[in-house]
Chains A and B, each alone.
Chain A
Amino acid sequence: MKPINTNQEYSNYVDKKSPNSPILKNCFNAFWVGGLICTIGQLIMDFCMYKGLDQTSATTVVSITLIAISAILTGLNIFNKIGKFAGAGSLIPITGFANSIVSPAIEYKSEGYVMGVGGKMFTVAGPVLVFGISASVIIGIIAVLFI
């Protein structure tokens, strides 16, 4: 092996030395867990529509129900195990958004209910709302101009 002198050489060397994530296994787990979560959502949606709700309301009920389930599983210390196993499979569905709000809420409980729970609740998920809502406002403004 040649001696390493520059940062670039070292960085390349480290990349070679560092094991990669087992991407095939991760993708497989993400696929079936993610698919399963969506399927649960679909069943809830079908049930709501069977009971006479329109599609928009049914979609909202699905979101609220999955968020509630995710919050409970987070509180029971189960969600992080699912997340470790499934990766994006539980992160990308709305369950991941819920988990990223609930987990800091629980973690920062020790700093009080106002500045701890209230203040830190959005440390992970805050950017999602900032970028999501900002994007919707921009799209709305574009719609005003062109429609």
Chain B
Amino acid sequence: MKRIGKQTISFDSPPTILETASIVGPKEAQGPLAKYFDQCLEDEFWGEKTWEKAESKIIKETVNTVISKSGIAASDIDYCFAGDLLNQCISSSFGLRELNIPFFGVFGACSTFVESLCLASVFLDGKAASNVLCATSSHFCSAEKQFRFPLELGNQRPPTSQWTVTGSGAAIVSASGKGPYITAITPGKIVDMGIKDANNMGAAMAPAALDTLITHLQDLDRKPSYYDMIISGDLGYIGKEIVTELAETKGYNIKNNYEDCGVIIFDKEKQDTHSGGSGCACIGTTFSGYFFKQLRNRKLNRILLIATGALTNATTSQQGESIPGIAHAIAIEN
């Protein structure tokens, strides 16, 4: 592998995304992408007593699903990278504790899935591993409880707010295989444009997504049209519009091939999700469920996946701090 330009790494023998799996909650199951997910739950508890236990179970079962779908024995997986939104990434730790695979806890807020894929690719191309597992999860109820208000509180959600996706996405990446290949990664910088409104995460993260996108294109000397699709994680309607418009002011036209997972996972009108989906599982499940199948069926051949994260916590946002954003990009090609 080698560094190209300011931030990008390209791989000599690009790792293959061997298999993906996704499990989603009931609200996502009513959304437009329902048929692409491996499993849709009927209730948010999934037989558990707490939201936190339910989230751990979701990531655990998603990982079990991806392992059995891939046909690789769990003992042949060398490392796993996983993370989530709950304090100290507890859903991943509980969900994966019985797996017996060396574990790296990763925190990149909602960018965790792609951050894990970045790290896995470097491990694989560096010959440190031959199979690596990446997983992430989020849960609407546990996230609301930790970051916002109790679910029973009768408050109104402002139109800029986003709906945390309940679910988990997991992928197994291998050093050898027939693709889709991870050909390059662009880890992002922390970008903070001073947005403080915790109900407008899309606007807080959009500058980071834009920075990573432009850096990636400059580093590799590519035009946006190189990709069949540029996909951001969970910017929602407002963030998507901001990225599209600001990219244009910098001379990049992405109007025709840019989509956001937060926009497509829910039906805004029918599901009352305001600015769209968010959470680690937003890009985790949308990529694992929908886009990976599009790559496999060759309906898409080159995509740029940009996962976005809001690096905030409940305490600092009460202290009036702004919300730093981050975005990591990976290029996936057949």
Contact = CB atoms under 8 A, between A and B. Distances in A.
Direct contact of A and B (CB under 8 A): yes
B245 interface: yes
Nearest to B272: A84
B241 A87 contact: no
Interface stretch (B88-96, B107-115, B148-156): B148-156
Contacts of B249: 1-4
B195 A14 contact: yes
Given A21-B159, A83-B154, A14 B203 contact: yes
A86 B323 CA distance: 30
Contact of B149 (A2, A17, A103): A103
Interface stretch (A38-46, A50-58, A74-82): A74-82
A136 interface: no
Nearest to B242: A17
A106 interface: yes
A11 B159 contact: no
Contacts of B145: 107
Interface string A1-43: 1111001101101100111111000100000000000000000
Contacts of B160: 18-19
Contacts of B193: 7, 10-11
Interface stretch (A94-102, A127-135, A138-146): A94-102
Contacts of B194: 7-8, 10-11
B299 interface: no
* Consensus secondary structure, chain A interface: helix
Given A3-B250, A10-B207, A21-B158, A124 B200 contact: no
A107 B152 contact: yes
A91 interface: yes
A36 B13 CA distance: 69
Nearest to B153: A103
Interface of A: 1-4, 7-8, 10-11, 13-14, 17-22, 26, 74-75, 77, 79-84, 86-87, 90-91, 96, 99-100, 102-104, 106-108, 110, 123-124
Interface of B: 49-52, 145, 149-160, 193-195, 200, 203, 207, 238, 241-242, 245-246, 248-250
Given A20-B159, A110-B52, 13 more contacts: A1-B248, A1-B249, A7-B193, A17-B203, A74-B152, A79-B154, A83-B153, A99-B153, A107-B150, A107-B152, A110-B50, A110-B51, A123-B150
30 contacts: A1-B245, A4-B249, A14-B203, A17-B238, A18-B160, A19-B159, A19-B160, A19-B238, A20-B159, A21-B156, A74-B152, A74-B154, A80-B151, A82-B154, A83-B154, A83-B155, A83-B156, A84-B154, A84-B157, A87-B155, A87-B156, A91-B155, A96-B154, A102-B152, A103-B150, A103-B153, A104-B153, A107-B151, A107-B152, A110-B49
